[in-house]
Amino acid sequence: MQRITPHQPQPLFDTAATRRIEAAAAAGLPPHTLMQRAGRATARLALALAPHARQVWIACGGGNNGGDGLEAAMLLHRAGHAVVVTCLGTPGSLPADARESWQRALDAGVHFAAEPPALGAQDLCVDALLGIGLTAQPRPHAPDPRLLAWLAHMQQSPAATLCVDLPSGLIADTGQWAPGFEALAAMPRGPRHTLSLLTLKPGLFTGHGRDAAGSVWHDDLGVDSSADQPTAWLSGAPAQIRRAHASHKGSHGDVAVIGGQGLAASGMGMTGAAILAANAALHAGAGRVLLALLDDGASAALPAWPELMLRRVQALHLAQGAVVCGCGGGQAVATVLPDVLRQASRLVLDADALNAIAADATLQNMLVQRGRQPELATILTPHPLEAAHLLGGTAATVQADRLAAAQALAGRFHCTVLLKGSGSIIAAPGWAPHINPTGNALLATGGTGDVLAGLAGARLAAAHGSDAAAAFDAATQACWQHGAVADAWPQGHSLTASELARSLTV
């Protein structure tokens, strides 16, 4: 068993792949073996989380997830712990393995109750109600009222909750709440832990998954899945960048930032967005940062940032280094996009550049043609609404299946897509998508996306190549570092985009 941290990459398997792995393993083992292993793993983690628990409440469903909980209840009871089990199923309705675990728990003397203990009476709650079977499709019947009541009771309890395999109500493949369970997202929660059995599931790390799961643990139940193709990967920490002593500013790449529409165009100045992206590239180690503001020359000098080199867009050599285009670009960015799409060898498109492309079929075709040139590197960094505009859908549709949306966008434009949000997705044609494990709600403030775009530009400028692989690696590294800075932020100190940019390192 291992606790999942952001530092090591991990393979992730969706429900279909997990079921194939489970079926293959079960075929080579005596009946009931995997459930006994799952019960042992659950009991072992329960004891580690609450070694002095006076009472453990285990809520069991009517399927094999409930059987895992029943097996754990039997083991905890035999170890001398007070256990109360509530169960939605009856012996006659349980699957064969779960029915055997029910009998083992009954024979061991486990206490079964019709209702959960009163709030505060238990020191640990165990959610073994549903497992991985839920999908986004509406259920033919509303969830059992007892199921929803027990889940609400757990979330209102001050005791820690251990979820067996998956938080009940969460969809394993998407990290969204299944129909009928949406209200759980707004309920208070005590400490949360999830023990993912056999495989790690993508939904634990994106969408609502990170909030629902809390600390994630994994036990492979003694089954080797290394020969199976992962559905996705949880990103690990990027390798440390080592710079040669005999280097100079030209060794680390140029980043040109194009954006920052001025006040004159619409009465809403957005130069700060471009400046944030440029500062991020600067602090992330770019050799030179060139800033081309779309403000008709209103910002003739930037004394606060003397390291940023001001340029007119027409004076930029777009094929040199990396270009970050769109941060605060407003409507003005549309006029420069054709040249940028044609000429930039390494390109990060963000914010208003994405909106302009979504609104213009000609620009969309140019981006598609660019993506078909393997020697060019392109990264799109949309938030869900921008991704929806590019896909012709809604933000809700994008959020409903973030992995699928990122892959669809990458496939449509033949480039790397970094779909921002909780558990950001990095997708590109030919690669299994990555889910980023770093970051937190401190990043939910204006300008942090511009910082990410600038950081991605710096990583792309320093890459050894300018192809699709370089784009995918740069986006993955930048996303991980961006979130890691927020994770390390001192408690009680506010995080602004400017502070975030200044805290980046090479």
User: Which of 234, 267, 300 is a domain's end point?
Assistant: 234
> Same structural domain for residues 287 and 371?
yes
> Same structural domain for residues 225 and 262?
no
Rounded to whole angstroms, the Cα distance separating 254 from 87 reads: 62
Establish if 243 belongs to a structural domain. no
> Same structural domain for residues 203 and 258?
no
Which domain covers residue 307, as residue numbers?
250-502
Establish if 88 belongs to a structural domain. yes
- Strands 425-427 and 215-219, bridge-based pairing: unpaired
Q: What is the pLDDT of residue 467?
A: 87
User: Which of 234, 263, 287 is a domain's end point?
Assistant: 234
Question: Considering its fold, how many domains does the chain have in total?
Answer: 2
Q: What is the pLDDT of residue 142?
A: 75
> Same structural domain for residues 153 and 188?
yes
Q: Within 10 A of 390 (CB to CB), how many other CB atoms are there?
A: 24
Establish if 244 belongs to a structural domain. no
Q: What is the DSSP letter of 219?
A: E
Rounded to whole angstroms, the Cα distance separating 355 from 217 reads: 39
> Same structural domain for residues 384 and 309?
yes
Establish if 239 belongs to a structural domain. no
Q: What is the pLDDT of residue 291?
A: 95
Establish if 146 belongs to a structural domain. yes
- CATH number for the domain spanning 391: value is 3.40.1190.20
How is residue 37 written in tokens?
């292993």
> Same structural domain for residues 445 and 364?
yes
Spans of the chain below 70 pLDDT: 140, 188, 243-252, 297-303
Q: What is the pLDDT of residue 4?
A: 97
User: Which of 176, 210, 234 is a domain's end point?
Assistant: 234
Judged by phi (left if over 0) then psi (alpha if -120 to 50, else beta), residue 207 lies in left
For residue 195, the SS3 value is strand
Q: What is the DSSP letter of 203?
A: G
> Same structural domain for residues 198 and 321?
no
> Same structural domain for residues 163 and 266?
no
Q: What is the pLDDT of residue 303?
A: 59
Establish if 416 belongs to a structural domain. yes
Task: Give the amino acid at 427.
Answer: A
Q: What is the pLDDT of residue 132?
A: 92
